[in-house]
Structures are given as C-alpha cells and as structure tokens.
Structure 1
Amino acid sequence: MFGVKLQGRVRHTGPEDERYSVGKTIAYGAQHILTMYGGVIAPPLIVGGAAGLSGPDMALLVTAGLFVSGVATLLQTLGLGPVGSKLPIVQGISFATVSTMVTISHSGGLRSVYGAIIVAGLIGLVLSTFVAKLIRYFPAVVTGTIITMIGLSLLPVAFTWALGNDPHRAGYGSMSNIGLAGLTLLIILVVSRLFQGAISRLSILIGLIAGTAIAALMGKTDFSAVGQTKVIALPSILPFGSPTYDIGAIVSMTIVVLVIMTETVADVITIGEIIETKVDTRRVAAGIRADMAASTVAPLFGSFPCSAFAQNIGLVALTGIKSRFVVATGGGILLLLGFFPIFGAVVAGIPYPVLGGAGVVLFGTVAASGIRSLARVQFHDNLNMVIVAVAMAFGLIPIAAPTFWDAFPQWFATIMNAGITGTAIAAILLNLLFNELRIGNRSGASVFAAADDERDAVLGVMEGGGDRLADEIRD
C-alpha cells in the first residue's frame, strides 16, 4: 500500500507514485534507457542518411533525439499542468513517422520535414481532448487485441537484432550472433528465476551487461566511436535552418500524427492496466498532449516526433517497477546523454544480438499482457471472437506480406503498414459495428456464437460423468 503522511494522516496515492532509494531509482531508470536506446537513435540515423547528411550532422541529429526524448519523458511522467499523464511511460523518437519523413526529405529536405511536424503537432494538440473522449470505444476486446499486436509486431525487431540488425554486415545471421542473443536471454531468465527482489528486477540490465561482456570476449563489440565523439555538445536551435511548409508534406505528417495519437491512447490504457491504476479520459488527453507538445517543439532542436516506447511498457510489466519517478530518472539520463554524446557512444556499443536476446523477453511480455486483457473478455453469444480474429489479421499483414499495401495510395499505405494501426482501426470499427450499433443485432445470430452454444451444450452433458474429459476439451 502506498501513501504519504499529511497532517498526521496518510493520503493514498497510486502505484505509479511509489518511490525508491536514489541508488535503485537510478539503476531502474538506467535499465529503461538501455532497453530503448537503440530505438531512439535509429530514426535519426535512417532519416539523416536519406537526407544525405554528413557525419557531424548525423551526430547532431542523434544528440538532438536523445535530448528531446529526455524532455518528452520528463513531461509525460512528471506532468506540467494539463500536459502529461503522470504514468511510467518512456518517450522516444517515433518509428511510425520514419517512412513519411524519408519521403518528405527526398523532395523538400529536412526543413520541409520540420515544418510538417510543427503543423501536425499543433493539430494534434487541438484534437487531444476530443480523441481522449473516445475512450469508451476502447473496451477490453479492443485494447487487449491492440496490446497483443504491439508485442507481436515488435518481436520481429528483436529477431532482427538477434541476427545482427544489418543484413549487409559480415556475420549477419551467424550462429555466433544467434548464440549470443540466446545466451543473453538465458542469463535474464536465470536471474529472474533464481533471485528475488531488486536483483530479479534488474534482470534485463544484468543480462545486457553480461551479454556485452561476453560479446567483448568474442570480439563482437566496437567502442571505437567513443574516441571520435565530443565530450560535450549542447543542443542547437534550428540547426538546419528555418522550417518550410508544404501542403502535401503537412497532410502526410498529420495522418501519421493521428496514428501516433491512436497508439498513445492504447499505450496509456495499457500501462494503466499493467500497473493497475485508474486511467480516465482526462489522463488519456494529458498523455496525448505530452506527445504532441514534445513533437511540436522537437524540430526547434533538430529532432522528430515523439511517442511512447512499447518495449518499455513491457519492461514495466516484466519487472513490476511501476514508479513514474523511476521512468522520469530515465528521462533525465536521456537528457544528459543529449548533452554528453560520449556516454551515448558507450551505450551504443552494446551489440545488437545482446539487445535481441533482451527484446524477446520484453516484447513477448507485451503480447502476454494483451492476452491477459483478452482473458477478461466475454466471448459468449457475441461477435467478439470475430473482432479479435480480423483485427489481428490486419495487424499481421505488414509482417507476413510487407508489400501487400504497396499498390494503395501512399497515405493509406503509410497508415496500414503500421501493424499496430491496422489492428487498432479494425478493432475499433468492428467493435462499433458489432457492439455499439444496436440496429440489427440479434442474440445468437452469428455462426460463431452458435458454435459456442453447441460447445457449451456438449460440455454440459458431459459434466455428469465425464468431468475429466470436459476439462480437457476446455483446455
């Protein structure tokens, strides 16, 4: 039970307000940053490469991304008035925006990218309250499906990391890379199983450190960038010039921002379920505002839109560390890394196979959290099973058939190629059609509901003398 003393009485607070000692808070916060560091630096490297930036400018993009991610995380976890959900959510540069930014940079350069982000972020801020009021349309059948899909869509990233991340690099897919990922995973599982308390909760961090040490003995680490990196690099204001504004770029980015907002709603609801705290429309709106405010300001420092990192939601679920102050400390570390890129270069030395081994646990935990939410859904005499089936299918399309949406308009393909978004759109629309729209709804009208009725009837007959067999059928 959590609480703070106030005039001789105890005022109860949520699990997200729990506090730890300084040492534990820093260690747990660092674990969050180690988990998502590769994901934060990847979008700047991808977009900067597409824009043809030089080495120093690429380093500037990465530093700006770390700095903005830190500011966004602090804003989300600590809050500032009506901005910030005050939940343990780590913010980072959004992968959902990468393909759109690459496309815009090819035609208008980074200045056009930044202009589109600023306008789209402002539109998102205006829409934040309206979007939050739609929370009633996110019942467990919708959120559970989305959460499960978040985990499933992230698992291929972990597998790619385990292989070595870059197919063009020597050793990609080698047994040594896969073995290193497997060994890291094994270390995490052993620590989680054999130890309790603080040590068990730091299993991911311990696995990353041990995995990196083993990788160093195998000659698979490269810290040469440390000696080539400046010790201090202050964030610059408008480092690539003033933003330019193109209508097409703005429309494309606004669509992507709507995708981010949809993901944010799901992430805020997800973390609320994981840590078992109340999440209402006001809190969802505050979380969206934090995303949009950080995204709007990001171009001023030469960075890109921010969103919640699902892998860190998995870390919260896995470790049981629910404190927003732990995550805020991680945000402070990110901000400091933005000032001291040499530390970032050290963390960047963690080999991808090591990250892949940890990612299997983290991303799989997210999927398992979604399955736990679906376990609370009533599937009897309704079409909830159809909702889950179709929504999951839409989410798996980009994974199973990456070129499926290529023939569609670019804006539509951008939306649907994000598996999480495809799942969210399908789940929300089908829930509206089957559960909210009452016209034409008839009990037991579906072949799926009828199948459930028949199955239950068979189980009922068997209860008298075949309990064991009935249990086996249920399983």
Structure 2
Amino acid sequence: MALWNKKRRTGAAGTGGHPVDEVLPPGPMVAYGLQHVLSMYAGVVAVPIIIGTALGLSTQQTTYLISAGLFMSGLATLLQTLGVWRIGARLPIVQGTSFAAVSTMLAIGAPLGGEAGLRAIFGALIVAGAIALLIAPFFTRLLRFFPPVVTGTVITVIGVSLLPVAMRWALGTANTPGYGSMRNIGLAGATLLIIVLIYRFLGGFFNRVAILFGLVLGTLVAIPFGATDFGRLGDAAPFQLTEPFHFGMPTFAVGAIVSMLVVMLVIMTETTADILAIGEVVDKRLTRRDVTGGLQADMLSTTVAGVFNGFSVSAFAQNVGLVAVTGIKSRFVVAVSGVILLLLGLFPVLGAIVAVVPLPVLGGAGLVLFGTVAASGIRTLSKVEYDGNANLVIVAAALAMGVIPIAIPEFYEPFPSWFEVVFDSGISAAAITAILLNLLFNVRRGQPEEAPIFAEAPAIGTTYEGDTEGIVVEHTDTAHPTPTRPRRRVPDSHH
C-alpha cells in the first residue's frame, strides 16, 4: 500500500497537477473519506445533544437536530472542497458543527427553552451568518489585530466554558431517580478510562477515533446496569429529508444577534488558522482569495444551517491533522466525506442510535473532548511572548471575564438584557475583552507590535493591506511582511 501511495503521488506530480486536485480510484476514495468522518463524527453530534438537552427537547426532537447537523456538515464540506464561484477554499477541509457557538447559543436559547429557544438561536445564526458572509473579504485584512494572545485566550475559554456541561452529564439526567448516583459517575469514569487507554496503548487510526470508540464501548458497559434504553430507536423514521424551519419561523433579537456576530468573528479567526495550516500540509501556496473563499463558505453554510435547523459550522482542526498523518491530500477524498455525512443526515435512525448514548457516558467523553479544546488554546498561549509587553494582563483579564458567567451564571442579571446576552457567554466576554485590550496595549499607529495570527500559523504567504487578486507574500517573522508577486515555491524558503 505504501508503494502504491508513493507511485500515486509521484504520478500526480509528474502530470503537472497538484495533489489537492487528484481524483483517486473509487475504493480508496470511499475508505479515506469514511476515515475522515469517523475522526470528526463525535464532534458533530455532540453540539445538537448539548443544545437539545439544555433546552429540554424530546428525544425525537434531539434526533432531528442530530440529523440536520450531519446533513448541513455534509453540504458545508462539499461547498468548501468543491467550491461554487468564488466561495470555498477548494482544499481538503472537513466542515462540522462548531463548538465555539455553544455557550452563546445556550445563553440565547436556554432562558426560553424548547422550540422557542431554538427559534431564537436560528434567528441569530441566520442574521449573524449573513453579516459575516458580507464582511469576510474585509475580515481577512484585519487579522493582524487578532494575534495568538487573542485567539489562544478565546479558544481556552471555549473549552473551559464547556467542561461544566460534561461534568453535569456525568451526574446523569436531572430530576431522575439515578441522578448523581455512583452508577452514573462510575460510567463516566469508565468511559474516560477507556479513552485514555486507547490513547495510551493503541496508535494511528484508533487514536483518531478514540472519542467515538469511548462512546460506543461506554454505552455497551452501561447496558448491564440498565442505563441505556434502546426502545427509543423505534421513534425514529428510517428516512427523513430535513425541511426548512421545522421548528417554526425564527425570531430575531438585537442582543442575541450581536452576541452571535462576536462568535462568528471568532469562528472566522479559527477557520483562517485551519486554512493556513492545511495549505502548508498539502504544500500549496494560498492567496487572500483562497482564505476569503474559505471564510465565505463557512458563513454561507452557517446562514443556510439556520434555515435547515442546523447550527454554526466551521473547519475541523482534527481533520487537518489527519491529512498530515495519512498524506492523502486530495480534496475530492474530503468531498466524499461530505457525501457520507449527507447520507447519515438523511437517515434519522442513525442519529437515534447516537441519541441513546447515556448522559454519563457522554459526560466521560466530553471531559476529554472539551478539555482538548482548552488544551489547544493553552498551547497557542504558550507561544506568545510575555516579556516587555502587557500580554499577561490581556490573558488574565480576558480569562477572568470569560470565567465570570461560568462560575456565577446570575452575575449579569442586574445588567440590561442586551448586555446580559452578550456577556453571559464566556466566549463572547473573553473575545471582546481580549480584542479591546490587544488594541489598547499592542497596537500603535494602526500597526500591531506583536506578530499577527499568521506568525503562529504555518509558513504560508498572505498580505495584510493593499493586495489585489493573485498577490501573495512570503511569510516572515516580522509583524509587517512585504507583498511580492507569485512565484514558484522554493524548498526551504521558510522557517
């Protein structure tokens, strides 16, 4: 197989085409595409379960959300990999339901509960996604104001804000006889242990699907203890086409839209980093148009998702790593992943299987899943320079603002309602604080003193100002790179 892969890649290069545009034989295409789906499936279905549980939805309604999430992830992946007009990065990027918006969506929907909460969430997603779609071309010119000190802090708060959710899951379903029992806590611990053991003793493919395996094996362990009810599978339809506004027409509130727009800016920042990373992995130079197209695919998919009962979508970083590990660079392989996700979304019974996973089992897996998000933010912050600047103050203040609504949920109740919606989300509070303080301390005369986010991203060219279509720039270690015209890539030209 290794020899075959070597010949295949050599052949692609020999024809003058880029490996990103290579079309593999059907068998390997499906196998590699399925591998991508297995690596990100748990992340896609976790968000609908979080929202459905928090809003008190029925099992059937939660199952519908799971199917809609899978369906929209498939559409978004196809848009990102294949592209339509200028929309889409046309790179091997898997799109899935984003965790970044969970806290804000809970802050918007939980007070209303049920379908009313969903309608408020979808309304905010539609408007915020549409606005972000329009500003994406301008956003790529402003990324110099989003250095790692900002993005690292925000990503850390995303993980921290979700960890309490996993802890509550570990206790079980509230207001039930077994809530908080040692049985439930034991199931969560067993699931966590299974995932850790997979990471420790199994490598390669098993590491990439450790979360999914933990959910499956944890559910099997729960069966003898009577914690799993498979009878609910009978409530799911074998086939169901996601229909627009299934839960009713969305509602729109200014505070919710503003709060969600802040999250869209964070998602665009994360997606930009993922696009730059995948460009380096596949050894392809990117222009600003590539980055802008990728962001527009994200935001258009999020807007459409609000119509078709899905949630915000973004690039999945774990799949960027999978491309690096396997060396399979074809975007058409990832497009096959999109088709698989579409099929999973069209068969609600598959979503029902996921929905019967006991909450304690989901809690054990969630501790690892959400903790990994926080760890990613900490890793980014570890690369930030703290000597001779105020970055430590920026991180400290932003983390504090992000933790306030997590530690004391009622803290902002005396504030105006619009302010409460925006700052009652830890992710929104941390993002606003970090951005404003970075502008205050690190930006002088319109130029950032700390290297922008691209400095922490792979060595890929991009311009910051005054660029036109087709102009790229060499990545440098300075904060203000100089634009150059496109030219043939020279090996080892970056460091």
Change (3 A) 1:157 1:98: closer
Change (3 A) 1:178 1:258: same
Cross-structure match for 1:374: 381
Do the aligned residues in 2 keep the contact of 1:5 with 1:11 (CA within 8 Å)? no
Matched, 1:90 2:86: no
The 3-state SS of whatever aligns with 2:313 is strand
Matched, 1:152 2:160: yes
Cross-structure match for 1:72: 76
Do the aligned residues in 2 keep the contact of 1:104 with 1:113 (CA within 8 Å)? no
Do the aligned residues in 1 keep the contact of 2:157 with 2:402 (CA within 8 Å)? yes
Structure 1 residue 433 displacement after superposition: 0.8
The 3-state SS of whatever aligns with 2:72 is helix
Do the aligned residues in 2 keep the contact of 1:141 with 1:384 (CA within 8 Å)? yes
Cross-structure match for 1:141: 149
Do the aligned residues in 1 keep the contact of 2:48 with 2:65 (CA within 8 Å)? no
Aligned match for 2:30, one of 22, 29, 36? 22
Do the aligned residues in 1 keep the contact of 2:29 with 2:333 (CA within 8 Å)? no
Cross-structure match for 1:423: 430
Between stretches 272-281 and 212-221, larger displacement belongs to 272-281
Between Structure 1 and Structure 2, which shows a larger proportion of helix residues? 1
Change (3 A) 1:220 1:105: closer
Cross-structure match for 1:161: 169
Gaps of 5+ in 2: 1-5, 450-495
Structure 1 residue 137 displacement after superposition: 0.8
> How many Å separate the matches in 2 of 1:171 and 1:57?
23
Structure 1 residue 70 displacement after superposition: 3.2
Do the aligned residues in 2 keep the contact of 1:41 with 1:65 (CA within 8 Å)? no
Cross-structure match for 1:211: 218
Number of matched residues?
Answer: 429
Change (3 A) 1:314 1:170: farther
Structure 1 residue 366 displacement after superposition: 2.1
Change (3 A) 1:319 1:430: same
Change (3 A) 1:107 1:211: closer
**Which amino acid letter does the alignment assign opposite residue 257 of structure 1?**
M
Change (3 A) 1:195 1:121: closer
> How many Å separate the matches in 2 of 1:39 and 1:186?
23
Aligned sequence identity (%): 43
- TM score, norm. by length of structure 2: 0.73
Do the aligned residues in 1 keep the contact of 2:143 with 2:269 (CA within 8 Å)? no
**Which amino acid letter does the alignment assign opposite residue 217 of structure 1?**
P
Aligned match for 1:306, one of 312, 319, 323? 312
Do the aligned residues in 2 keep the contact of 1:29 with 1:326 (CA within 8 Å)? no
Structure 1 residue 130 displacement after superposition: 2.0
Cross-structure match for 1:341: 348
Do the aligned residues in 2 keep the contact of 1:44 with 1:65 (CA within 8 Å)? no
Q: What does the per-residue CA deviation read over 1:235-272, in whole Å, with 9 as the maximum and x for residues that have no partner? A: 3345567x58x7xx253343133123122123214535
**Which amino acid letter does the alignment assign opposite residue 40 of structure 2?**
H
Structure 1 residue 214 displacement after superposition: 0.7
Do the aligned residues in 2 keep the contact of 1:392 with 1:423 (CA within 8 Å)? yes
Q: What does the per-residue CA deviation read over 1:2-59, in whole Å, with 9 as the maximum and x for residues that have no partner? A: 9564462576668xx999763354144134223431322443566685xxxx987776
Do the aligned residues in 2 keep the contact of 1:4 with 1:13 (CA within 8 Å)? no
RMSD: 4.0
Change (3 A) 1:327 1:390: farther
Structure 1 residue 393 displacement after superposition: 0.9
Change (3 A) 1:330 1:349: farther
Cross-structure match for 1:471: none
Aligned match for 2:203, one of 196, 200, 220? 196
Structure 1 residue 280 displacement after superposition: 7.2
**Which amino acid letter does the alignment assign opposite residue 75 of structure 1?**
L
Change (3 A) 1:438 1:92: closer
Cross-structure match for 1:181: 188
